[in-house]
Amino acid sequence: MAEAQFIAFYITVCCIAFIISKIIISVLLYKRWKRKHMIYEVDGLSERDRGFESELEATGDIKHWNILVLHGYYTCPH
């Protein structure tokens, strides 16, 4: 009888340890995902906006008869 209680206790402790480890792993993965998808802002412009603006400037400087002239653009913070 004591052996059955020990086995039940052992199984319970193992299940709790497994669940806690999965929670810790999911929290760490979420923190890593969140850090990866952060947008850094400098002077009111995010890193993505600055990259987009530099691409627009480079595209706007191209003069070729097959490429349309860019007169303006609009961005929305979605």
Q: Is residue 44 part of a domain?
A: yes
39 close to 48: Cβ distance less than 8 angstroms: yes
Higher pLDDT, 71 or 14: 14
Q: Is residue 70 part of a domain?
A: no
What is the domain range of residue 21? Answer: 12-58
Q: Is residue 76 part of a domain?
A: no
Whole-prediction pTM: 0.45
Q: Is residue 75 part of a domain?
A: no
Q: Is residue 6 part of a domain?
A: no
Tokens for 24, please give them.
Answer: 């810790």
Q: Is residue 32 part of a domain?
A: yes
Predicted local distance difference test score (pLDDT) of residue 21: 93
Please give the tally of structural domains in the chain.
1
Q: How far apart are CA 53 and CA 12, in angstroms?
A: 57
Q: What is the pLDDT of residues 45-68, one digit of tens each?
A: 566 667 777 777 777 777 777 777
